[in-house]
Amino acid sequence: MNLQIIDMAHVSLRELNTTLQKPGDASEATNWEVINSKGSHAIAVGLDAPIDVTIKGSTGYYCAGMNKQATIRVKGSAGPGVAENMMSGTVIIDGDASQYAGATGHGGLLVIKGNASSRCGISMKGIDIVVHGNIGHMSAFMAQSGNLVVLGDAGDALGDSLYEARLFVRGKVKSLGADCVEKEMRPEHIAILKDLLARSGADAKPEEFKRYGSARQLYNFHIDNASNY
């Protein structure tokens, strides 16, 4: 394995990201380890190559933002907006994640081994998010597509103003947001959930979860109410 170590005690954040953003070729390092992160913000943002990056320690806000192709693991916890606007690849947080994890994500897989704070998956647009612990209030607010899987409990107003994202929760839901309802778990949903649990290393059975989705009452035009629009 061609491993290259970057020590943030001696390398600036700009230099770190510039190095990781280089597309490289087969002769260059594809496995990177970042040490002495010390909670720095915006680490490993805008990556667009099939490289592996391990960050030894916790990170500040917007770690792994706009990720494409790369696999990024944080050996600690992550601040607000981890994997924000992620397009593809995999981001794994070994600890907890602060608010709006995976916000506006278009694709890829975000795995949070601990808990996630409020607004997890807000406005998600195709990303898959698996949280091994609990999630906070207003999670999946205006979530458009993709899957949010929660092995623990969910806070208030889950799925408020939801579009077509699928929400799977194994634990308790404190309350559902506007237009979010419990839905039937059909075989295709069991298959989706089984795949996501396996890919995220989660020790749970798909049959233990409930599915929540949009009642489709907020964003449809009803002719009977035309005079009110």
Residue with tokens 């924000």: 84
**Predicted local confidence at residue 218, as pLDDT:** 81
Sorted by sequence, the CB contacts under 8 Å of residue 148 that are 6+ apart come out as 120, 121, 124, 129, 131, 135, 139, 140, 165, 166, 167, 168
**Predicted local confidence at residue 211, as pLDDT:** 98
By CB neighbour count within 10 A (0-12 exposed, 13-18 middle, 19+ buried), where does 55 fall?
Answer: buried
Dump pLDDT digits (tens) for 52-94: 999 999 999 999 999 999 999 999 999 999 999 999 999 999 9
Rounded to the nearest integer, the mean pLDDT of the chain is: 93
**Predicted local confidence at residue 22, as pLDDT:** 85
Task: State whether the Cα torsion 67-72-73-77 is positive or negative.
Answer: negative
Domains of the chain with bracketed CATH: 3-220 (2.160.20.60)
Dump pLDDT digits (tens) for 146-177: 999 999 999 999 999 999 999 999 999 999 99
This prediction's pTM: 0.93
